[in-house]
Structure 1
Amino acid sequence: MTIKRLYLKILFAFLGILLITILLTIGLFIATAGRCYKSYLDRQTIAKLKIFKVMVQKEVDRHKDLPAEKNPDLIQLLDTCTALFGVKLWMSEPGEHIIFQNFEGPVDFLPDRAHRQVHHDSGITLYHYILKWNKYYAIIPINDRSQGFLLHLFVDTGKTSRHEGLFLMGLLAIGIAATLMLLPTVSYITRRINRLNQSALEFAGGNLSVRTDIKGQDEIAKLGDTFNLMADRLERLVGNTKELTANVSHELRSPLARLRVSKELIRDKLEQGASNDAIMRLLNNMGSDIKDLDTLIEEALALSKMNYQESPLAPETFIFSNFMKSMLDTYLPLLSSNDLVLDLDIRDFGKASQDKALVKSIFTNLMDNAIKYSPPGNTIHVSAGTISPKGLEFSISNPCKPMSQEDLDRLFNPFFRIPGQKAPGTGLGLAIAKKQVRRCKGTIRAEHTGREICLTVYLP
């Protein structure tokens, strides 16, 4: 069965890791602390048996002329031990013939029931029963006359050592406690992921304003911030696309309407037998409208491409003052044909590192805009310099009637035209320039000085 819920996956993974950890801990305990503890019990038991052997040997040596089973002091010592400690004792000859036992019933405490045996230098053999360290069987050799005899002890306190069991129960208790403490964390993680998933579903359903409010500094919070950033950009992109579509549709109506009127007029002129000059004027007007349409579509496509896809920058090092002078040289014929004067203030400050093609496009948009909206007989001021060791700045100023701050703020919006402006244009040039400046990590601003409008670009 495939587990689909993250909550259960995390919980089962933790339980699996916990189980493996418990088993490894038990194995480590048995191999280290458990073995030390058993060795300690062995030493304690052997020490007691050695003392008991000395006591028995002393009684045997006091009555060397008596057989062990008829030695009254030895029998009394064995009975005392049995009464005090509940030990079952018996004696046998080396051939395992029992010569004495202080309890009734068969002697069936055989070593094959034992788990392990411990030998000692004094000849004592100790057998431990499986997992019952309070139950053992010992054989003690005693010297008596010629061949001696074996003293057997069977100790069963009736209490099973529970050290391993208690340790295991403790580990299980710790595991259960850890699992219970994990549940809120797992729930916290999955709850935040579910909130992020719900926000994504709402966004996919068309609610572009939805945002997630996941707090914190962890990976899920960072994922939530990334989602919000993506949602902001997509909402802005969709909004710009809608605005662009609406504005393009609006701007297309005027030249299309003029083309439609020109077509009807040409038809009428042809039916009336009008002169070729009148028809050519109408055709020239249609050519101008078609050119406006081409320009509008080209700039709208450029702006749309910037919204959807940004190619990586290609910075290169170049001398900015030489670059500006070469650009302005190409505009001298156009300035002369429009009866405009160019005033330059270019300061040489060395090399610049930027995407040269983008800088050229920005400058061209601003310069074309200044020439287009400057009446003949006026001056266009161009200045370039630096405001920091690593930044370059240039500005273009041209005559302009006074503008409100609201119009200045809207100057870089797509299709915005200065109220009362009759010069032809699409209103997309400055919008494109602003996006290009942002791609270069720079800023652009517009200000009115009373008689002129000044557009200033700063590029780092």
Structure 2
Amino acid sequence: MRSSLFVKIYLTVLASLAVVAIASGIFVRMGMEREHAGWSGRRDAFIAAMLPADSDPALLQATVQRLSAAFDADISVYGPQGRLLAAAGRPVPQDEIGLRRRMHPGGHHLLVSRLPDGRVVAARLRMPFGPVGRTPLAYLALIAAAIGLAAFPVVRHLTRRLEALRQGVDRWGEGALDTRVSVRGSDEVAAVAASFNRAAEQIERLLAAHRSLLANASHELRSPLARLRMAVDLDADAQSGPVRDEIVRDLAELDALVEEILLASRLDHIEKLESVEPVDLLALAAEEGARSGVDVSGEPGVVSGDPTLLTRLVRNLMQNAQRHGAPPVTAHVGTEGGSVVLKVRDHGPGLPEGTGERVFEPFFRPKGRSETAGGWGLGLSLVRQIALHHGATVRHELPSGDGACFVVTFPATS
């Protein structure tokens, strides 16, 4: 997905975990600081009780030695003026007492306690004395990372199902009406997939029924039209003149319309062309031009396709130009960037503004055009259908001067 839902959901999960971890770490650290402050006060009170200010030097030295042996530590007691009063083990230099660092080389921990009477007790311990102030952020980060890794397959599974659903809808929208998506699970995504399948099946059934009805109706119309044409021909001596000529033209138009409807219905039902072979578009256009009186020019251009359908495409473009435009009508075949291009142009009034795309709609009639003048029928609609089945495109161009120009671009052949 271009705007990946998976990335958004997963980043949201990770961001939530990071916020929870940081907030938890802050609260835990604040609690540990309060605990450490309470412990420091009790520790200083204990040391002050063990080393009272009025102790004689011999008793002070004996007490310091007992504490040193009990805690396996080097202990030094300094007076308010910095004079060493008592020491056990290696003395702790005064320059180390002022340092903020509490972990010294060799893995020793330095404990400094300042008594109310101004004395300073410094102890170099091999093991920490009191609670260890380790930060919990590393543990919280580890927990968040573990949850994030566990959430990855869950989020990916959900978004992969949504992506599969989107791809199915795209394929169905492109015309593959038999597309269905897999229904897995019993959650909301599965419900949406099942609803899509039901809707797609219903629409496909309705369209199939519509196409079948249209094809059958068009086919059935051919029989009465043929009988009417035969009756007019048999009664040619009794009926002559403008009325008969009008009847013949109307029957011919109806017959052509039925044929176009049948062809449009057939093109709707096929997914790929039944007969594909190399076709020289210039030769085909020249043949149709000679039949309809259209001047054809250009250079040979070979396209791959169904000759019958390509002939119908060229014929419809020429007949459309003659019917709705004005002479001279010309056709040109050339190559542009490896593609074969067919252009059919007339010199009539051109298309009304804003109708360049709408003329490819079936039975389109521009605003203000009378019923007598008629519309574009299925001619240009069939041109676009045939072009699409050949991988080609068709468009309307505004030529210099009057008239209309329709351009069909076929892909380059390998």
**TM-score, normalisation: structure 2:** 0.49
Larger radius of gyration: 1
Q: Which has the higher contact order (CA 8 A, sep 6+)?
A: 2
